[in-house]
Amino acid sequence: MKIDQVKLLSNLFEINPLDAQKEILESGIDFSGIYQELEMSSRYVDTHMDISLGDIPVNLHSHSFYEIIYVLSNSGTQYLAGTKRYLLQRGDIIIIPPGIGHKPLFPSELAEPYKRIALWVSNEFIESTSLLLPSYTPQFKEQIFLLRTSGTPYEYIGNYFQQGLKEAHDKKSCWQISLCGNTMLLLVACIRAFTDSKKQLLKSEKPELLDDVVSYIESHLDEKISLTDIAQRFYVSESTIGQTFQKKMHVSFYHYVTQRRLIAAKSMMLKENSLDELSEKVGFKDYSTFYRAFKKEFGISPKEYRNFIAEGQSNLI
């Protein structure tokens, strides 16, 4: 999907999420990759409300910015972040650094709509914060941060998400400055919660076949991965593996492997001089195969994406 199409669709969600989702379903177009290459519309912080009914599966994706999710409902949705799954409930906070693969896993029937506030924070904002307060460098810069606030002294953090959403909606004078200041307070609150010995962190779900396979794929991306080998390794049939991925991930086994490899490639873009070598390191047999997969999944070529990320990084210099 093209970036401008995704941006347009994200604007629809911000205005009226349920109406936008209805239009998507009626269009008959595959929007499962809607979150693949979203861009921030501002330099530092964006925020918006998202509501999902579970009818549109979301592909595994990653971002070039930090995504902070505040859950507003008890929908029964699980969340795959990295290689672990978490059952979400109202008041949960998830902070996902750039380059980490993630996606919601909807049950066959939602208890209620999956409703959340999404806060997108640029690398530039986080790096600037770290320079201002070097001794308070956020704990979540290189790892997934998961916090349960319901029934804890940190329930108040939800007020910062609501206030940021109001600022972005009202757009009063100097609202961008207010939104940035509010985000600073939110991050400080999260850091305090993270360092609290009595904090409640989300515990991952008990590992199942899906989790074991996902972990294996993640640690063997540079090797040949086949459905036959995976089935033999975990002592199940190939059809069991295939059905598990279709039911819970809404993609085929091989498509999931490709998604994981592409997300790994994205996170390595600025560390590797040669795209040919990079493609081999994440398991593609040659650059042309990597190029086609990347372009199909993200709507832009690997080189275009690397230039896009490099341009954003240059703003930090």
pLDDT digits (tens, 9 = 90+) for 22-32: 554 454 444 44
- The answer to whether residue 139 scores a pLDDT higher than 80 is no
Cα separation, 309 vs 64, in Å, equals 7
Tell me whether the CATH fold assigned to 3-195 matches the one assigned to 209-314: no
Higher-scoring residue by pLDDT: 247, 134: 247
- Tell the burial category of 84 from Cβ atoms under 10 Å away from its Cβ (0-12, 13-18, 19+): middle
- CATH fold label, 3-195: Jelly Rolls (2.60.120)
Question: Which pLDDT score, from 0 to 100, does residue 90 have?
Answer: 97
Q: Which H or E run contains 275? A: helix 275-281
Both tokens of 127, joined, read 């790096």
Question: Which pLDDT score, from 0 to 100, does residue 135 have?
Answer: 66
So where are the chain's domains? 3-195, 209-314
Q: Are 157 and 149 in contact (CB under 8 A)?
A: yes
Q: Are 47 and 116 in contact (CB under 8 A)?
A: no
Neighbours of 299 (CB within 10 A): 18
Could you give the 3-state DSSP secondary structure of residue 293?
A: helix
- The answer to whether residue 266 scores a pLDDT higher than 50 is yes
Higher-scoring residue by pLDDT: 29, 105: 105
What's the farthest any 2 CA atoms get from each other in the chain?
62
Both tokens of 294, joined, read 């990347």
CATH of domain 209-314: 1.10.10.60
Q: Are 23 and 12 in contact (CB under 8 A)?
A: yes
Angstrom CA distances, 189 to 7, 139, 157, 183, 289, stand at: 30, 12, 7, 10, 45
Question: Which pLDDT score, from 0 to 100, does residue 195 have?
Answer: 83
Question: Which pLDDT score, from 0 to 100, does residue 8 have?
Answer: 42
Rounded to two decimals, what is the model's pTM?
Answer: 0.84
Higher-scoring residue by pLDDT: 21, 196: 196
Nearest by Cα to 35 from 60, 8, 68: 60
* Residue-wise pLDDT tens digits, 158-190: 999 999 999 999 999 999 999 999 999 999 999
Cα separation, 106 vs 110, in Å, equals 7
* Residue-wise pLDDT tens digits, 64-97: 899 999 999 999 999 999 999 999 999 999 999 9
Q: Which residue has the tokens 């990320």?
A: 309
Angle at 260 between CA 212 and CA 44, to 5 degrees: 120
- The answer to whether residue 218 scores a pLDDT higher than 70 is yes
